[in-house]
């Protein structure tokens, strides 16, 4: 690759320059599968090993920083795979109370590059013209939209998705959640970076701004990133008329910082009120991020009305034991099983007919029995039978000895084995 051979060694020094080809420009090729991430990693690592032998510290540092950027790309896939709702909901639940300002006019001014902040406007115009912007510019313009204008981060994420050539959903989600403070390891929500300071740091000569904002091409470097502070004579000499050929700042930095602080306070108040309304304030609220997702209805099992022995839901998943043998409702549920046990052994045809009749009788047994009967096994054999039982009409049965019960179960097993052999 040309980048690895010629530009990777200077990556640590040139990566922060927002103008020119200071980065690898490999993201579109990685996104569309024209280049393998494994090949990029292997090529960079081979260079790093070579430069380490040559004691080229700058080359080693450049490879480390470049592979860190590649690792963040894979980290975005890890987050999206484990938290698939992150394209529409913040990862931190408290952000759901943040009072976003859904101002369409401000969003339009931001995307068209008419905010009045030269570095932000230059980045948005480059994005519209070329479909690509430097990673540092992406951070600056997205932070401005979220922190200065309080626009919903989903709006910016969708706009990036429609305009970027390397529009990668996972990276797009990671970037906007990182900027909006929605990630535990992301930007602090209260952090607000001045575009003026960012411009003097990453575009000190103003070349990037002059390239994409021709109306500011004649502005002196001293005022290029904050023309609103320039004297009137300087603006007149540069041919700049604020509010006419270049807009005034859409919002003052101090006012934006105050609005952000108020929004954060309101977010915490709304979260505290929500917790107090749902609990005593001592328990932590569990936020279900799946709220609002359409799901199909879960089918319910409805028993037939003509069932002779109704099923009681309180005992549906309960195995009878000697301790609950005096429960009348449980006896009525299992009366059919007791009657089958008392059938004479010389009527195998009737027994087979009752054992595999209709689906209605399958509903008479518990959930554990009905699931086991599909494997052609008698689930009632796994239950322990109570000593005292009653018939379906309420007449009490004589108490049986444990040895007699074991003998009757053994007879029943022999009978079923004989019936299965005759069926085969």
Say whether 10 counts as a known binding-site residue: no
Say whether 11 counts as a known binding-site residue: yes
The backbone torsions φ and ψ at residue 396, rounded to the nearest 5 degrees and listed phi first, read: -70, 145
Q: Which residue has the tokens 């931190």?
A: 92
Q: At what angle do helices 57-82 and 169-179 cross, to 10 degrees?
A: 100
Say whether 168 counts as a known binding-site residue: yes
Cα 59 from Cα 11, distance rounded (Å): 8
**Max CA distance (Å), the chain:** 117
CB-neighbour burial class of residue 142 (10 A; exposed 0-12, middle 13-18, buried 19+) = buried
Extract the tokens encoding 96: 């759901």
Say whether 150 counts as a known binding-site residue: no
Give the ranges where 83-163 is alpha helix by DSSP (H). 104-111, 118-130, 135-143, 153-163
Cα 53 from Cα 299, distance rounded (Å): 67
Say whether 404 counts as a known binding-site residue: no
Cα 413 from Cα 384, distance rounded (Å): 15
Cα 126 from Cα 133, distance rounded (Å): 7
Say whether 27 counts as a known binding-site residue: yes
Say whether 66 counts as a known binding-site residue: yes
CB contact at 8 A, 299 and 186? no
Cα 385 from Cα 374, distance rounded (Å): 22
Residues with Cβ < 8 Å from 22, sequence gap 6 or more? 14, 15, 16, 134
- DSSP for 338-354? HHHHTS-TT-HHHHHHH
Say whether 235 counts as a known binding-site residue: no
Say whether 3 counts as a known binding-site residue: no
The backbone torsions φ and ψ at residue 242, rounded to the nearest 5 degrees and listed phi first, read: -65, 130
Q: Where are the beta strands (DSSP E) in 297-367?
A: none
Extract the tokens encoding 324: 């609950």
Residues with Cβ < 8 Å from 141, sequence gap 6 or more? 110, 120, 123, 124, 127, 133
Helix (H, G, I), strand (E, B) or coil at 390: strand
Known binding residues for FAD: 11, 23-27, 66, 166-168
Known binding residues: 11, 23-27, 66, 166-168
């Amino acid at each position: 690759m040309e980048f690895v051979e010629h530009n990777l060694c200077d990556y640590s020094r040139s990566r922060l320059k927002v103008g020119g080809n200071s980065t690898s420009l490999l993201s579109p090729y990685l996104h569309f599968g024209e280049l393998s991430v494994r090949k990029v990693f292997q090529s960079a690592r081979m260079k790093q090993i070579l430069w380490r032998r040559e004691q080229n510290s700058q080359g080693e540092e450049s490879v480390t920083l470049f592979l860190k950027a590649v690792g963040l790309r894979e980290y975005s896939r890890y987050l999206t795979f484990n938290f698939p709702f992150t394209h529409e909901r913040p990862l931190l639940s408290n952000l759901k109370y943040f009072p976003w300002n859904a101002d369409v006019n401000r969003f339009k001014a931001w995307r068209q590059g008419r905010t009045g902040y030269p570095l932000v406007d230059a980045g948005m115009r480059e994005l519209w013209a070329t479909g690509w912007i430097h990673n540092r510019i992406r951070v600056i313009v997205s932070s401005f939209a979220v922190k200065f204008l309080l626009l919903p981060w989903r709006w910016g994420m969708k706009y990036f998705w429609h305009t970027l050539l390397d529009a990668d959903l996972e990276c797009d989600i990671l970037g906007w959640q990182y900027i909006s403070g929605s990630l535990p390891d992301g930007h602090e929500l209260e952090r607000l970076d001045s575009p003026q300071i960012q411009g003097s740091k990453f575009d000190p000569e103003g070349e990037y701004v002059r390239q994409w904002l021709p109306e500011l091409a004649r502005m002196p470097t001293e005022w290029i990133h904050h023309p609103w502070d320039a004297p009137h004579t300087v603006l007149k000499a540069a041919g700049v008329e604020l509010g006419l050929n270049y807009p005034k700042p859409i919002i003052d930095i101090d006012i934006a910082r105050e609005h952000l602080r108020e929004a954060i306070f309101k977010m915490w108040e709304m979260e505290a009120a929500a917790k107090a309304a749902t609990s005593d304030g001592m328990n932590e609220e569990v936020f279900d991020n799946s709220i609002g997702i359409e799901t199909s209805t879960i089918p319910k099992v409805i028993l037939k009305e003509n069932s002779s022995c109704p099923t009681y839901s309180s005992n549906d998943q309960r195995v009878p034991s000697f301790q609950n043998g005096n429960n009348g409702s449980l006896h009525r549920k299992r009366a059919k099983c007791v009657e089958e046990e008392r059938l004479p052994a010389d009527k195998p045809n009737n027994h087979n007919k009752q054992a595999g009749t209709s689906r209605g009788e399958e509903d008479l047994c518990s959930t554990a029995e009905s699931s086991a009967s599909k494997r052609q096994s008698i689930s009632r054999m796994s239950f322990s039978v109570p000593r005292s039982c009653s018939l379906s009409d309420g007449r009490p049965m004589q108490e049986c000895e444990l040895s007699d019960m074991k003998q009757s179960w053994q007879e029943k097993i022999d009978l079923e084995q004989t019936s299965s052999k005759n069926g085969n």
